[in-house]
């Protein structure tokens, strides 16, 4: 593996585990048993590392949101979209855990994240149209598709922030992969009125695989 890729992967692990604000380039270099000078040869600063991690995340999500070619979209595709998106949310959780700070700290990241958001909204809307064509979704007005896409995006991008706000422990022991993927359950719950009645029983059965009780801790 190239040194640059090793730095990106190690940084992602450290940011996820400890929080981006708690990790410096010196921490990253020490974790990799390399000199800070060697790290700076590949990245000028921590912002450059974060930006490169975001670009990898963006590429991953763009790959997830492709509509199948040469066949109609199916129910299992809808589940696969959501499962993949929340897997990505877990793998790059630091980006969503402190997104406002990260965007405020890097104009380049803020610009690209805006374009990424608009791309995702258009992709979600296109998926909804394909689900209508396959008679999985009920027919919708264009304004409904816009609302559907926006609300789906808001659930995904704010799910980590919500979990962080209600759990005192930010570590993976509390907010783990299973908790994160309850977000799939929530989105399917939101989408249920858009799904044709004859498909809902199947969706409900698939939805149960993502249920995680006691998301909100007892006071």
Report the pLDDT value the prediction gives residue 173, as an integer from 0 to 100. 56
Instruction: Note whether residue 24 is domain-resident.
Output: yes
Contact 12, 90 (CB under 8 A): no
Instruction: Note whether residue 37 is domain-resident.
Output: yes
Contact 136, 73 (CB under 8 A): yes
Instruction: Note whether residue 216 is domain-resident.
Output: no
Instruction: Note whether residue 189 is domain-resident.
Output: yes
- Check whether residue 19 and residue 81 sit in a common domain: no
Count how many domains the chain has.
2
Instruction: Note whether residue 219 is domain-resident.
Output: no
In which domain, by residue range, is 25 found?
A: 1-44
Provide φ and ψ at 195, rounded to 5°: -90, 140
Each residue's pLDDT, cut to its tens digit, for the chain (219 residues) gives: 899 999 999 999 999 999 999 999 999 999 999 999 999 999 999 999 999 999 999 999 999 999 999 999 999 999 999 999 999 999 999 999 889 999 999 999 999 999 999 999 999 999 999 999 999 999 999 999 999 999 999 999 999 889 888 876 544 457 888 899 999 999 999 999 999 999 999 999 999 999 998 787 766
Exposed/middle/buried for 207, CB within 10 Å: 0-12, 13-18, 19+? buried
Instruction: Note whether residue 88 is domain-resident.
Output: yes
Report the pLDDT value the prediction gives residue 121, as an integer from 0 to 100. 97
Instruction: Note whether residue 83 is domain-resident.
Output: yes
- Check whether residue 40 and residue 54 sit in a common domain: no
Q: What is the pTM of this model?
A: 0.91
Report the pLDDT value the prediction gives residue 168, as an integer from 0 to 100. 63
- Check whether residue 156 and residue 180 sit in a common domain: yes
């Amino acid at each position: 593996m190239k040194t640059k890729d090793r730095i990106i992967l190690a940084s992602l692990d450290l940011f996820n585990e400890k929080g981006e604000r708690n990790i410096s380039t010196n921490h990253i270099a020490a974790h990799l048993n390399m000199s800070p000078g060697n790290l700076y040869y590949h990245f000028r600063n921590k912002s450059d590392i974060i930006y490169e991690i975001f670009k990898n995340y963006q590429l991953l999500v763009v790959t997830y949101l492709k509509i199948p070619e040469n066949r109609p979209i199916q129910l299992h595709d809808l589940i696969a979209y959501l499962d993949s998106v929340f897997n990505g949310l877990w793998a790059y959780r630091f980006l969503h855990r402190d997104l406002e700070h990260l965007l405020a700290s890097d104009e380049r990241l803020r610009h690209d994240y805006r374009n990424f958001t608009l791309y995702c909204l258009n992709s979600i809307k296109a998926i909804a149209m394909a689900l209508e064509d396959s008679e999985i979704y009920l027919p919708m007005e264009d304004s409904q598709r816009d609302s559907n896409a926006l609300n789906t995006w808001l659930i995904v991008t704010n799910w980590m922030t919500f979990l962080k706000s209600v759990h005192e422990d930010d570590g993976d022991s509390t907010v783990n992969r299973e908790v994160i993927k309850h977000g799939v359950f929530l989105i399917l719950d939101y989408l249920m009125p858009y799904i044709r009645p004859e498909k809902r029983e199947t969706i409900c059965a698939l939805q149960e695989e993502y249920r995680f009780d006691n998301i909100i801790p007892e006071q």
